[in-house]
Amino acid sequence: MKLFPLLMIEFVAFLLIILETYVFFTLVVPLGPIPHTLTDYTTLALLKMFLILVLGALWFIVLDGLTRLYVRSRVRSAPRPSS
């Protein structure tokens, strides 16, 4: 099963999409008390945007890390071109 490592990366991408949307809707969206002032509202909005960026970054970092690991292990064992 040569494609198994790539299928695993694909499965991790799928799981992360599902898990991160779950985290987004159960933790990020209802975060904090209902804001009453503009300052509270802005702070909460900025915090939520920061957390969304963190979730996005996590997706990229995990998949980039897995891919680099896969490429490094394969390139090390790959035959070099003769030319």
Partner 1 sequence: MITWLEGAAFILALAAPFFLLLGLFPSYLRALTRLGRVAEDAHKSPPTKVPMPAGPLLFAGLVVGEFAVALGFRTLVPVAVAAGAGVAFAIGLVDDLYVLGGKTKPLLLLLAGLAFVSMAVLQPTLYRADIYFPILGDTAPHFIIYTILAVAAFPVVANAFNMMDAFNGEISWFTLLTSLALLAGVTLRALFQSGFSVSRVASTLPLVGVAGAFLAYNRFPSKAFDGDSGSLMFGAAFAGLAVTGGVEIAAIIAIVPAILNSFYTLSSVRGFVERRKMASRPTYIGEDGLLHASVEKDAPNTLVRLVLLTSSMTELELVASIVALTAVACVFSVATSVLTWVF
In whole angstroms, what is the distance from residue 68 CA to residue 57 CA? Answer: 16
Tell me whether residue 26 or residue 37 sits nearer to partner 1 (CB atom): 26
6 in Cβ contact with 44 (< 8 Å): no
Is 30 a residue that touches partner 1 (CB under 8 A)? no
- Total residues contacting partner 1 by CB under 8 A comes to 29
Which positions ≥6 away from 51 have C-beta within 8 Å?
27, 28, 31
Residues near partner 1, by CB under 8 A: 2-3, 5-7, 9-11, 13-14, 17-18, 21-22, 25-26, 29, 60, 63-64, 67, 70-71, 74-75, 78, 80-82
